[in-house]
Chains A and B, each alone.
Chain A
Amino acid sequence: MIIRPRHIHHCAVVLAVLTMGCEGATRPSSFVIPGPSVPSPLPTAAPYVWDTRDELAIWVENPVALGSLALEGNGPDGFIRIAQAEREWTLRGPDLTPSATGVRTLLLRYRWRPDPALSPAASRTLRATAYFQTTAPLQPYYFGQGAASADLEPRDDWTDITLVPGQFTPPIDVSYCYLHSFGANRGVLEIDRIELVR
């Protein structure tokens, strides 16, 4: 029996190779198929406030808006009325051209009147969330949208509330924004003003 040095070398090569792990996969990149666009009939520029009936109509009259939405009032007194707040609703803002820079959150001026027939134990808050489509990913390989939320307390007069940013760190650059709620208990929600806070 002759043991050649080459055999030992071969064994060493095989064993050395086998002590390494390997991974054979290239995870393909995720991507986003855009939803419907909402062009604005009015110029979109700072201070990014939608207050009049015509301005608020942009948030209601588009293919993305969802829910029992109606426009009430005229001119500067116009507001959005959501008569069935117990249902899911969405308000889609216009595409911002150019995009809004330095956005920190969103401000709502609202009235929220829960149904008086609700039982005393029923919840009377309404959770609303604003989603911001940013011009760049919030994090590498992250495809989420920036979100800011607030629980709206019942109010009979117009009240301003600033939504609290969630998983993003302001400021961000926004190409459009939309408001969404899964619904609350019965009641009527009215929105008089929407403003991007910068």
Chain B
Amino acid sequence: MMIQVKFFAYFRELFEGRDRELGLGDGSNVGDALARLCDTAARRREIFAGEELKPHLVVMVNGVPAQSLRGLATPLADGDTLAVFPMMGGG
């Protein structure tokens, strides 16, 4: 399957780009996609705390927060959009 990954805020510097296409095997989930993207220690450090997602992250699948789906176990399908943000706030 092919998914679209979008990065925001300082994740654009960290992952060197605004968005990219990612090819994944069938049956892949959010955790698999993020593990593929975090191919350096610096990237892993920003995204993962051990096996879990770091708390101040926003990870969305097609506009839905992963944590209201199945977290890292959320399954992905061909054509999905995965968005990765540091937590934002505003007014």
Q: Do A and B come from one complex?
A: no
